[in-house]
């Protein structure tokens, strides 16, 4: 078995990170939608108001969880972008060493 090493294409990481940023924004929008659900008297009626308090707490908690998920996806996208930049700089540094007249 041979080891061909790891081949990283920074542009592919950047494309993936861009998609992650977009998904993070979409998740954040979903959180706003969930948090904005109206569970007042007009939505549930007078008889269901006894359940409204728990339902409101649940949607608020769910919305906050979704919002945090969106933040984590966006953070991971930033880390992926940073990794792509690091690979790009390392690749350039290696290429520069081989072009240097001081290489023996």
pLDDT along the chain (104 residues), means of 10: 75 94 93 81 69 83 94 95 94 86 62
Q: Tell me whether residue 2 is in a domain.
A: no
Q: Tell me whether residue 16 is in a domain.
A: yes
What is the per-residue pLDDT for 103?
54
Number of domains present in the structure of the chain: 1
C-alpha 99/C-alpha 104 separation (Å) is 11
Give the up-direction half-sphere exposure of residue 54: CA atoms within 13 A in the CB hemisphere.
3
What is the per-residue pLDDT for 78?
95
Global confidence as pTM: 0.69
**11 with 54: CB under 8 angstroms?**
no
Domain that holds residue 48: 10-91
Q: Tell me whether residue 74 is in a domain.
A: yes
Q: Tell me whether residue 101 is in a domain.
A: no
């Amino acid at each position: 078995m041979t080891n061909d090493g790891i081949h990283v294409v920074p542009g592919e990481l950047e494309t993936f990170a861009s998609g992650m940023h977009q998904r993070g924004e979409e998740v954040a929008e979903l959180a706003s939608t969930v948090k904005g659900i109206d569970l007042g008297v007009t939505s549930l009626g007078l008889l269901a108001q006894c359940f409204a308090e728990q339902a409101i707490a649940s949607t608020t908690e769910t919305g906050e969880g979704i919002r945090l998920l969106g933040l984590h996806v966006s953070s991971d996208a930033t880390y992926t972008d940073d990794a792509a930049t690091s690979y790009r700089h390392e690749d350039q540094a290696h290429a520069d060493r081989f072009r240097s007249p001081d290489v023996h």
